[in-house]
Amino acid sequence: MTPSEFETIAMELRAKALGITRRMMFEAEDAEDIAGDVMLRLWTLHAQLHDCDHALKLAVVIAHRLSIDQLRRQKKSLHLFDSSDKGAQAPAGAWANPSQELELKEDEAWLVQQMEKLPPRELQVLRMRQMEHRTNEEIARLLGIGEASVKVMLSNARRKLFNDIKKRH
């Protein structure tokens, strides 16, 4: 691919890379950084790219791998009961007993810790399914994998968490 051909599709490539990183739950700044890194890597490979389709596929792969690397480095923290998620909050007065509130917070912290031990891909699938309420079909489409793979990863993540819960109690 010539430099001028690359420049013609550069905006599309960047948008694709940005979309992948945002779907993996990154802050906007992190997603921008990774998208920029993807573009630099693609530019260094532009002479080896066959066509636009090849470049797009490579952009997806590079963005995905860089995103996973970033997740591993950051060990992003999870919040099960986000204040912006009205459905996840307890109703007013539901935890009148301070010891119940403390117990809930401890349980949440423990569960978050167990979830962070999951492989990044399983955690991503679990999060998309349980917290974002996406269907298996949507998850498969967004991640570029088969629906059967989504089911297996989701099952593995749930089984691991269930076994951890059984051990705890």
pLDDT tens across 148-158, in order? 999 999 999 99
Q: Which residues of 114-136 are buried (b: 16+ CB within 10 A; e: fewer)?
A: bbeebebbbbbbbbbbeeeebeb
Task: Please give the model's pTM, rounded to 2 decimal places.
Answer: 0.48
Render pLDDT for 81-127 as a digit per residue (tens, 0 to 9). 544 444 444 444 555 578 878 888 888 888 888 888 999 889 889 88
The total of other beta-carbon atoms located within 10 Å of residue 57's CB is: 13
